[in-house]
Amino acid sequence: MPLFPMTTDRRRDNIPQDEKYIPTSRPQPKNPPASIQIKNRRKRYLELHPEYFSPALELADPLLYDRLIRRFQTASEREAEGRLKGHSGTLEADLERAEAKMEALANPDPDSLLTYSRGPNGEILAEDADEIPSSKTRARALP
């Protein structure tokens, strides 16, 4: 058990109340990498502009819609959206997306944020440019 002194320090009692507690400043958080800042800005824009989530956008750019919106929807949200579009609307969106993926795979754009490649089972996979490892050592370090 710790031993506490029974006497009080008179010098400590003479210190004015406002000087007894001086809060220490917290270290400022470091700025996240530019890629994280960009993703945060995109997420914030989507939160501020809910009209961006309209189903009409899906046909304007099916790959971007798939990458930025569809993958974050819950199953119930996707199901409700499918009911609104109907069977023909869902089929149209799926065909547009498949054709856009085939086009992106056949003609890769070096300036695009996303790249597409074939998976081991023939599926078309999208990758962010910052998700692609820059060297073999970085690729081996990935989980």
- For 100-109, the pLDDT digits (tens) are 888 888 888 8
127, 114 contact by CB (below 8 A):
yes
CA-CA distance, 126 to 115, in Å (whole number)? 6
Structure tokens at 71: 């993958």
In a domain, 8, yes or no: no
Burial (0-12, 13-18, 19+ Cβ within 10 Å), 130: middle
In a domain, 102, yes or no: yes
How far lies 114's CA from each of 8, 34, 45, 89, in Å? 68, 17, 19, 25
Confidence of residue 38 (pLDDT cuts 50, 70, 90): very high
Total structural domains within the chain: 1
Question: Would you say residue 121 lies in a domain?
Answer: yes
Taking 90 as the threshold, does the pLDDT of residue 116 lie above it? no
Determine, yes or no, domain membership for 44: yes
Domain-embedded: residue 82: yes
Residue-range definition of the domain harbouring residue 101: 36-141
Q: Is residue 3 part of a domain?
A: no
Does residue 21 lie within any of the structural domains?
no
Q: What is the pLDDT of residue 122?
A: 79
Residue with more model confidence, 110 or 134:
110
Please give the model's pTM, rounded to 2 decimal places.
Answer: 0.50
Per the domain annotation, does 6 fall within a domain?
A: no
Radius of gyration of the chain, Cα coordinates, nearest whole angstrom: 27
Instruction: State percent of the chain over pLDDT 70.
Output: 66
